Amino acid sequence: MRSIAVWVVAGLRRYRPDRNPLRRRSDRVEAGFVAAALVAVLLAVWPAALAARAAYGGGPAAGPGARQLVEATLTGEATASAADAHVLLGATAARWTLPDGGVREGMVPAALLLRDGPRARLWIDGEGRPVTPPPHRAEMTARAGLAASGVMAAAVALAAACLVLTRRRLDRARYREWDAAWADADQRWRRHRI
């Protein structure tokens, strides 16, 4: 824990704005880029929250009437044909009552039915068609967390890449200045022999 605190204090000392005459212009530019990167990462929290909200909003909380659980009566046995091979356990003839009182009848993929003997429960959409069950709350929370984490990871990666490129460019300029200063010192300190 102490090493993290030492690292944070060293970073604050390195990038803090002050009037130190030994601080080069490139050091101040680098400190400005670090501050801008931190602000950009903090501002990325808002798009991350929007992404999480969009990912979470696609589940059962999508609104009333989006998906409803209704009672269905099985009117036939499960059948599996070569054409229905992609459907788990084939399809079953069933009859279900819509929330408005209407009755629908049709073939329902057996994977969509929650069976209880000759009766079953079935998820339907707003038009009364069988649909897949809504995702569980844990799945929706995981999706939202992944969406927010993805946006934040992209923001941090972009900020880090900008910092690395800026620092590389500034370091090259610093090395050129350093070489020029040493060449100048070499000329001044060299003994001139007659």
| Domain termination site, one of 124, 148, 166 | 124
Please tell me the total count of domains within the chain. Answer: 2
Are 155 and 175 members of one domain? yes
Are 144 and 53 members of one domain? yes
- Quick check: 92 and 74 in contact, CB under 8 A? yes
**pTM to 2 decimals?**
0.67
User: pLDDT digit string (tens) for 52-97?
Assistant: 999 988 655 455 557 888 888 888 765 555 444 444 457 888 888 8
Are 145 and 175 members of one domain? yes
Q: Which domain holds residue 42?
A: 24-57+137-186
User: pLDDT digit string (tens) for 140-166?
Assistant: 999 999 999 999 999 999 999 999 999
Are 41 and 71 members of one domain? no
Q: Is residue 19 part of a domain?
A: no
Quote the Cα angle for 38-42-44, to 5°: 120
Q: Is residue 73 part of a domain?
A: yes
- Quick check: 129 and 112 in contact, CB under 8 A? no
